[in-house]
Amino acid sequence: MKVVIVCVSVSHGNTARIAETMAKVLEARVVSPEEVDPAELDACDLVGFGSGIFTMDFHPRLRRFVRDLPEKQRRKAFVFTTSGLPEPPFRRYVRRLAGLLGRKGFDVVGTFACRGFDTWAPFKLVGGIRKDRPGTADFEAARRFAEGLGGGPACGENVSSPGS
């Protein structure tokens, strides 16, 4: 199975560490949006798309990359994220990115979210929040999620790590 994980991780490396955990299980390559030719994704069996959350949305570089993909029939995809706070019910950014991927021809088979060290604006004043995240339980949850992406019974589940 050919897998590529497109990841933007800029602040503390939270999302990159989660992506690398999944990549080990899936034998995948982790790349930034600038490091992959969109045509390469057509040859993949599975593509992951993830970033940290910035002002209640995925990183602009990832959103732009997905928005610029041509519409065509593609393979399976998954979405993942790290953030200091859980996704609020009034701002469903994971669902919105999954919907955009669907319009681009991907079949989104699962999502994964976990908490991560966050020093955004007001949190910076107190040294940040979730300083110990992602932690051991988060990495284990990411590993189990990736194992399920091979098409087994967990395929299609939406997963949040414990304490998210």
CATH top class, domain 3-160: alpha beta
pLDDT digits (tens, 9 = 90+) for 26-60: 999 999 999 999 999 999 999 999 998 887 889 99
Domain ranges of the chain: 3-160
Query: Residue type at 24?
Result: K
Tell me: the pLDDT tens digits for 102-127? 999 999 999 999 877 565 666 555 56
Sign of CA pseudo-dihedral 118, 119, 120, 121: positive
